[in-house]
Structure 1
Amino acid sequence: MTASKAELTEQRLLACAKAEFMEKGFAGANLRFIAQRAGMTTGAIYRYFSNKDVLFKAVVGPAANHIQSKLEEIADRQLELLNMEGFITDLTAADTVVHQFVDYIYENFDVFDLLLNHAAGSSMEGFINSLIELDIASTQAYIDKMLQLGLLKNSPPARVIALLVKQNYKQLLEIVTSKMTRVEANEYIRLLVPFLYAGWCTILEKTDSQ
Structure 2
Amino acid sequence: MSTSKAELTEQRLLACAKAEFMEKGYAAANLRFIAQRAGMTTGAIYRYFSNKDILFEAVVGPAANHIQSKLEEIAGRQLELLTTKEFITDLTTSETVAHQFVDYIYENFDVFDLLLNHSAGSSMEGFINSLIELDITSTQAYIDKMLQLGLLKNSLPVRVIALLVKQNYKQLLEIVTSKMTRAEANEYINLLVPFLCAGWRTILERTDTPR
What do the CA deviations read for 1:99-129 (whole angstroms, capped 9, x no partner)? 1111110110000000000000000000000
Q: Which residue of 2 aligns with 1:175?
A: 175
> Whole-Å Cα distance in 2 between the matches of residues 179 and 88 of structure 1?
30
Q: Which residue of 2 aligns with 1:193?
A: 193
**What's the % identity of the aligned pairs?**
88
Q: Which residue of 2 aligns with 1:56?
A: 56
- Structure 1 residues not aligned, in runs of 5+: none
Query: RMSD value over aligned CA atoms?
Result: 0.9
- Structure 2 residues not aligned, in runs of 5+: none
Matches within 5 A, 1:134-145: 134-145=134-145
What displacement does 1:86 show?
A: 3.4
Q: Normalized against structure 1, the TM-score is what?
A: 0.98
Matches within 5 A, 1:115-154: 115-154=115-154
> Whole-Å Cα distance in 1 between the matches of residues 97 and 120 of structure 2?
29
Q: Which residue of 2 aligns with 1:166?
A: 166
What displacement does 1:155 show?
A: 2.5
What do the CA deviations read for 1:157-202 (whole angstroms, capped 9, x no partner)? 1110000000000000000000000000000000000000000011
- 1:140 touches 1:161 (CA, 8 Å); kept in 2? yes
> Whole-Å Cα distance in 2 between the matches of residues 96 and 82 of structure 1?
19
Q: Which residue of 1 aligns with 2:31?
A: 31
- 1:14 touches 1:59 (CA, 8 Å); kept in 2? yes
- 2:122 counterpart SS class: coil
Kindly provide the amino acid, as one letter, of the partner of residue 150 in structure 1: G
- The number of residue pairs the alignment matches comes to 210
What displacement does 1:156 show?
A: 1.8
- 1:60 touches 1:115 (CA, 8 Å); kept in 2? yes
- Larger mean CA deviation between 15-24 and 147-156 belongs to 147-156
Q: Does 1:155 align with 2:160?
A: no
Q: Does 1:90 align with 2:90?
A: yes
What displacement does 1:146 show?
A: 0.6
Kindly provide the amino acid, as one letter, of the partner of residue 140 in structure 2: Q
> Whole-Å Cα distance in 2 between the matches of residues 12 and 88 of structure 1?
43
What do the CA deviations read for 1:27-47 (whole angstroms, capped 9, x no partner)? 010000000000000000000
> Whole-Å Cα distance in 1 between the matches of residues 119 and 200 of structure 2?
31
Kindly provide the amino acid, as one letter, of the partner of residue 124 in structure 1: M
- Larger mean CA deviation between 153-162 and 13-22 belongs to 153-162
What do the CA deviations read for 1:39-68 (whole angstroms, capped 9, x no partner)? 000000000000000000000000000000
Q: Normalized against structure 2, the TM-score is what?
A: 0.98
Q: Which residue of 1 aligns with 2:46?
A: 46
- Larger mean CA deviation between 186-195 and 94-103 belongs to 94-103
> Whole-Å Cα distance in 2 between the matches of residues 205 and 81 of structure 1?
18
Kindly provide the amino acid, as one letter, of the partner of residue 186 in structure 2: N
> Whole-Å Cα distance in 2 between the matches of residues 88 and 41 of structure 1?
53
What displacement does 1:209 show?
A: 3.6
Kindly provide the amino acid, as one letter, of the partner of residue 57 in structure 1: E
